[in-house]
Amino acid sequence: MSVKLGDVTFDEVDYDAEADVLYLHQGDPSAATDFDESPEGHALRFDGDGALVGVTIVGAKRLLAKGGPIVVTVLDRLELPLSEVSSIIDAA
């Protein structure tokens, strides 16, 4: 089974019914190198290139029982290159 979230298709989908936690992974979960949290409180995992590779949704069944979709807001990853700010940091 796979699940599509925006442009990302998660090919690994696991649900822990006892804990009511939905795990979505794209490829190997250990590929995640960066972690964040969505504004809704979902755990987000990114690979070294900043691509979303995993989402953990706590209370998935409870969220669905509210009658709407489960919302996951993923903000674009922005990087500030060290070369852009190194002189500012060094001058401080």
- Looking up tokens 């089974």 gives 1
Average pLDDT over residues 5-25: 92
Q: Which two tokens stand for residue 19?
A: 């804990």
Alpha-carbon gap, residue 12 to 89, rounded angstroms: 42
pLDDT, one tens digit per residue, over 43-70 is 999 998 889 999 999 999 998 888 888 8
Average pLDDT over residues 32-39: 92
Alpha-carbon radius of gyration of the chain:
16
Q: pTM of the predicted model, to two decimals?
A: 0.78
Q: Apex CA 46: angle with CA 49 and CA 37, to 5°?
A: 140
